[in-house]
Amino acid sequence: MINLVLEQNLAEDGYLFNTGKSFKSYEFLGCHVLSSGITVFNVWAPHAKSVAVVGDFNEWQDSDLTKVGTTGIWHGEFNGVDPGSLYKFAITGPDGERNLKIDPYAREFEKKPGDAAVVIKPTDKKWHDSLWMARRKRSDSKKRPMNIYELHLGSWRRHEDGSYYSYSEIADELIPYVKKMDYTHVELMPVMEHLLDASWGYQQLGYFAITSRFGDVTGFLDLVDKLHQANIGVLVDWVPGHFIRNYDALYQYDGTPTYEYQDENRANNRGWGAWNFDLGKAQVHSFLISSAFYWLDDCHLDGLRVDSVSNMLYLDYDVGKEGLTNQKGDNRNLEGIEFLQQLNQVVHQEHPDVLMIAEESSAYAGVTDSIDNGGLGFDYKWNLGWMHDTLKFFEMDPLYRRDNFNLLTFAFVYMLNEKFILPFSHDEVVHGKKSLMHKMPGDRYNQFANLRTLMTYLAVFPGKKLTFMGSEWGQFLEWRDWSQLEWVDLKDPMNHKMQTFMQSLNRIYRDSRPLWEQDFEPAGMIYSNTDDAQSSTMGFIRQGKRKHQFVVAAFNFVPVERKDYRIGVPYAGEYELLINTEDANYGGTWTKLETKFTADKTPFNGQPASFTTTLPAMGALLIQPTKLK
């Protein structure tokens, strides 16, 4: 029996949950150890005939739960359930079939290959990141540097025997490395619990549980806390579109389609071997938005990169769903659009300083536009078009680049359509696509020269930045999730110099306001020489808010040195070199650098002044003014 007060409270919580407005549903659903020693189990299974909890505390025999009114929630209270105990729910569906199911709200699972949930005490984490959190509230990320280091915790570092680092060990090595390399944020590939290593976390089992591979939730929270204390932001990939196919997980949870679409064709995600969430169901809204709030509130994350947004925007995105239309006759998933708008709206109402980032692969308009204007309300969108075109250009033999210069210049047309992040992510260095280094044409020397130029182009093109681990020193092998990065590469002088180059480039980016404070303003970009396909060179200026603050960027995309190369600038005066990608210290051939430049009032390419220099073969220059007339 449930006492009347508890039943009333659960009825009120259940009402909000069933109307899609319970955004902290993890506070009452799932398993909760009370200070009295009683352990409470609550689970939503609206069509179940009966529900019981089974675990090692009752020899895996049924301990029945009681249904709470018409909420669809089942409740039970038990003594003698110690923290560390394993449990599942035994759910008998409308057809009388009994199945063991995971707890959708579990905070911890046993180590793979098991998938039982673990009873844990409430986390009593004492945070030490108040300065970071206060600074985050005061700052506008759009006008701040953002240079994200994306990594997969299972393969960034491993012990010699191949075993995983713990969260604590990761913190000890990752934080000084990220500080040394001058990245502003880390983005962790999904750290929510998942069974299959090869899924990289994108086939999720637990939406409220940190993966047990590297330790417990306290270890993860300490990692986030230490990163914040080191002035490093923490972003995590999150997958609200689909869930793991396993039958003991969310699929047909109460014996009927519970979290997935009723229509099996819509529920079945054939391309990814998963089940699509029913984004038109109010309870799924409560579940998923509560998951987002758990990671943002309880774990102090600075943002979520929402995976596979296109799968939630279009009815026909998957294989075998061609021709599906909505009631308006087009292919948009109106329920998915409404869910994404609600997600971003409620998150930003409570956390206006948190970053919601869309990985969206189509040309859907308004991904980062406000909801009031009909947009989705994301803060940023990955610019996958820019990424694909840029990599395609750099993979080409330089001989053919002049005939394909539009691969670079086309991005200027749409670069302000959304608030973009420019990603060279894990997806581009796996499954036979080759590492960034291996994509580059030519011999080993030219591969490094191309890679330095590519990374410089990334650094100065409007938009925030993201690169995947290993790219910063030019790892040749493509990414392998089952082993650590090839850190041994750094014994090679060329790889070591590449890493030194990235350290310098990242520092220049972070210290140079023109490279980030007007990323999304037309005034932030001055086109000085962007259409010289014949010589395969390019020049433009990144302008800061103050008119005398700007960075001149000049690129040579072929291995032919350009002497007396003229660069147009807004003012006559003195200029200085920020970086030359062909500096011998970075693996290039230049041992003597031209570091000072004098611009006179010779107009060039629409600019009132200019100067000449030697533009290195397959290289780039970044130059800034020091004394203007």
Task: Identify whether 83 is part of a domain.
Answer: yes
Q: Which pLDDT score is estimated for 11?
A: 87
Task: Identify whether 573 is part of a domain.
Answer: yes
**Domain identity same for 352 and 489:** yes
**Domain identity same for 564 and 596:** yes
Q: Which pLDDT score is estimated for 576?
A: 98
Segment 361-371 shows an average pLDDT of 96
Domain boundary among 85, 118, 151: 118
Phi and psi angles of residue 70, each rounded to the nearest 5 degrees, phi first = -105, 15
Strands, E assignment, 20-85: 30-33, 39-44, 50-55, 63-64, 66-67, 73-78
What does the pLDDT look like over 250-283, one tens digit per residue? 999 999 999 999 999 999 999 999 999 999 999 9
Task: Identify whether 25 is part of a domain.
Answer: yes
What does the pLDDT look like over 30-55, one tens digit per residue? 999 998 889 999 999 999 999 999 99
What does the pLDDT look like over 165-199, one tens digit per residue? 999 999 999 999 999 999 999 999 999 999 999 99
**Domain identity same for 12 and 75:** yes
Which of the following is catalytic: 359, 418, 489, 517?
359
Average pLDDT, the chain: 96
578-508-352-306 Cα dihedral, nearest 10 degrees: 110
Q: Which pairing describes strands 147-151 and 73-78: parallel, antiparallel, or unpaired?
A: unpaired
Task: Identify whether 130 is part of a domain.
Answer: no
Q: Report the CATH number that the domain containing residue 87 is assigned in CATH.
A: 2.60.40.10
Count of domains for the chain: 3
**Domain identity same for 504 and 534:** no
Segment 474-482 shows an average pLDDT of 97
Task: Identify whether 145 is part of a domain.
Answer: no
Rounded to two decimals, what is the model's pTM? 0.97
Q: Which residues span the domain enclosing 411?
A: 177-515
**Domain identity same for 489 and 571:** no
Domain boundary among 497, 515, 533: 515
**Domain identity same for 529 and 496:** no
**Domain identity same for 479 and 495:** yes
Segment 582-607 shows an average pLDDT of 96
Segment 226-241 shows an average pLDDT of 98
**Domain identity same for 449 and 526:** no
Task: Identify whether 68 is part of a domain.
Answer: yes
What does the pLDDT look like over 140-162, one tens digit per residue? 999 999 999 999 999 999 999 99
531 pLDDT tier (thresholds 50, 70, 90): confident
Active site residue 307: yes
Residue 1 has pLDDT above 60, yes or no: no
Q: Which pLDDT score is estimated for 612?
A: 97
Q: Which pLDDT score is estimated for 35?
A: 87
H/E element holding 395?
helix 384-395
Residue 16 has pLDDT above 60, yes or no: yes
Segment 545-558 shows an average pLDDT of 97
Q: Report the CATH number that the domain containing residue 459 is assigned in CATH.
A: 3.20.20.80
**370-375: Cβ within 8 A, 24+ apart:** 371/341, 371/344, 371/345
629 pLDDT tier (thresholds 50, 70, 90): confident
Residue 9 has pLDDT above 90, yes or no: no
What sign has the CA pseudo-torsion 150, 153, 158, 162?
Answer: negative
Domain boundary among 515, 530, 546: 515
Q: Which pLDDT score is estimated for 581?
A: 98
8 pLDDT tier (thresholds 50, 70, 90): confident
**Domain identity same for 527 and 507:** no
Q: Which pLDDT score is estimated for 4?
A: 63
Residue 2 has pLDDT above 70, yes or no: no
Task: Identify whether 98 is part of a domain.
Answer: yes
Share of the chain above pLDDT 90, in %: 95
**371-377: Cβ within 8 A, 24+ apart:** 371/341, 371/344, 371/345, 376/309, 376/337, 376/340, 376/341, 376/344, 377/340, 377/341, 377/344, 377/345, 377/348
Segment 407-431 shows an average pLDDT of 97
Residues near 548 by Cβ (< 8 Å), separated by ≥ 6?
571, 625, 628
Which of the following is catalytic: 77, 129, 307, 318?
307
**30-35: Cβ within 8 A, 24+ apart:** 30/103, 30/104, 30/105, 30/106, 30/107, 30/208, 31/87, 31/103, 31/105, 31/106, 31/107, 31/117, 31/119, 31/120, 32/122, 33/81, 33/83, 33/119, 33/120, 33/121, 33/122
**Domain identity same for 361 and 393:** yes
**Domain identity same for 437 and 533:** no
Residue 236 bridge partners (DSSP): 188, 304
What does the pLDDT look like over 193-216, one tens digit per residue? 999 999 999 999 999 999 999 999
Q: What distance in Å separates the CA atoms of residue 118 and residue 215, rounded to the nearest whole number?
A: 13
Give the three-class secondary structure for 617.
coil
What sign has the CA pseudo-torsion 366, 369, 371, 373?
Answer: negative
Task: Identify whether 156 is part of a domain.
Answer: no
Segment 550-577 shows an average pLDDT of 97
Q: What distance in Å separates the CA atoms of residue 284 and residue 243, rounded to the nearest whole number?
A: 12
User: Would you list the DSSP string of 445-490?
Assistant: HHHHHHHHHHHHHHHHSSSEEEEETTGGGT-SSPP-TTS---GGGG
Residue 398 has pLDDT above 80, yes or no: yes
Q: Which pLDDT score is estimated for 132?
A: 98
Selection from 403, 356, 352, 402 nearest residue 379 by Cα: 356
Active site residue 574: no
Q: Report the CATH number that the domain containing residue 603 is assigned in CATH.
A: 2.60.40.1180
**Domain identity same for 573 and 438:** no
